[in-house]
Chain A
Amino acid sequence: MSEEEKKVVAQEATNNPTAGEVSVNSLAYTTGQEVVKAEKKEKRHMGLKAKRILGNTVVYIVLVIMSIIWLAPFVCIVLQSFRCESTWMTGYIIPHKWGFDNYVRLFKNTKFPRWFLNTTIISIATAALQLIIILCMSYTLSRLRFKGRKALMNAMLVLGLFPGILGMIILYRILADLNLTQQNAIPGLILVYTASSGMGYYVSKGFFDTLPKSLDEAARVDGANRAQVLFKVILPLSKPIVIYTLLTSFMGPWGDFVFARYVSFGTSDGMNVAVGLQNMLGSAGSINANYTTFCAGGVVVAIPITILFMCLQKYYVEGVTGGAVKG
């Protein structure tokens, strides 16, 4: 049956509702109906496919534009860091002369290595301390029941809503009294970054809440105390959240500028990379002289974090979503 014939049969069938009475007609009726149905289905299918392709195209175009906007500054910084002409405003993006001059200058002529070391010490110490505090805090709030538990959690939630900047001046006063500023900025900053870390318990508590309580109970009956339960049973099961906590608490001090500048005020030995690099661009003249070196510094600072993220990205994503799905 050709396409035309089929249509004719279908037309006849729809025009003849009593077709069921005669066997030949009824046969025609069913085939005709099926043909109509199949055609409709195909049309609908085509429509859906086209719609999907169109939708995807739009989405991808938007995403590509967003990515370009997002990546442009980073690409620029990397390009500037390899530029040998050392001026600020050039009017072009791609360097005319390529080289490692800026990196050499960064490590030879500035205190960058010192700042880098400072930042590393602060970040590692903070990450380690925060990890311990946050995990213990989250485990406690997830598993132990004590008076004032709810009140404590609510209080921390409310306190967390205030910007940390509000306490800056008083914190500086306290640190100055403890003689933990300027030359001693490193321990001072570690103290500042670690002090309120217990308040960041939400994500890991959410994760611990999803681990069955009977695991704790089994371990306790088996002879473990609370600390052993945490370290031998819960933490091995919480790899994603441990890594997530470690990463976030490492990144905070790594990129911090405001507190670091306040606390290390006036001495270049106590500065971290962010403050040190910003200092290089302190005056109008120095911007012109140091701009490309500054860009090189920016790239060097990004390298460790980028490597960390590339290695641990899988766990990081699991950690962020871990509150909802059991890990």
Chain B
Amino acid sequence: MDASNVIKNKPHKTQQQKTERRLSVWLMLPSMILLLIFFLTPMILTVVFSLTNLSLTGEAASSLHFIGFQNYLQMFKDPALATSIWNTIVFVLFSAVIGQCFFGFLIAFMMRGKNKTFRRIIGLIIIAAWVTPEVVVGFCWVAFLGDNGTLNMLAHNLLGMKPVAWLYTFPMVSIIIANVWRGTAFSMMVFQTALDDIPQEVEEAAVMDGATRWQLVTRITIPMVKGTIATNIMLVTLQTLGVFSLIYTMTGGGPENATSTLPVFMYKQAFVSYQLGYGTAISLVLLLIGALASLLYMKILKVKI
């Protein structure tokens, strides 16, 4: 008799557990192997390198050695660290948690039951923003927000406004909007998928019982996709923590560190100043923030695992 029959017949509990575990191990073997070799090992090496003077060039590159916690000391003495952490939190909070999730849900929700062609066109435009290469997205936004850019042209023609140096006057707002623009597609797709799973009958029954539209959304629809919303917020947060090229092309982290998030700060130290070990130490702060945020979400949003 093979194992599936054993499950089917629902025999003794512990034996079923045993079978389940054995099956689990087999099923998870491919991912375990891959994660172990290509994911965990480099990650651990990264942590080890943060304790070294690893450098791409210069004298340090010829003699790799452990320097203890010197990189961390240097990091905590650097005022740019606090700025970068703060910028990262602001950037993630507004562009991912608030912007992308909100617009993603709004679009996915309103797309339901709309004309097929219309839905396809809207979806394509939003997806296009997502799949355009990051450096080009940077260019698009620099052009859009530039002195003679589209936004100033519209503001001038419609509102009679004088041109504003958007990117320089509102650097953080600019990169947040650009990232909302770029990332919304992902949340939209996730929510589309989740909303598809809501059985029609449930909503219909609520309408029959006289629920208003608002009640329908807040009491039926949102609770039913609550799990997805929570998971999505978590995934989007972790993705946004790592956003680099977009910011780097648009502002380079400037003016004067105003948009320097941790990945930008890390890149500058590791690849512009060639202090890889130091950069690695910075990236571990990012890891820490990611972990803290996830734990926080699990507490507040009750992300099920």
Do these two chains really belong together in a complex? no
Using a CB–CB distance below 8 Å, which chain A residues touch chain B? Answer: none
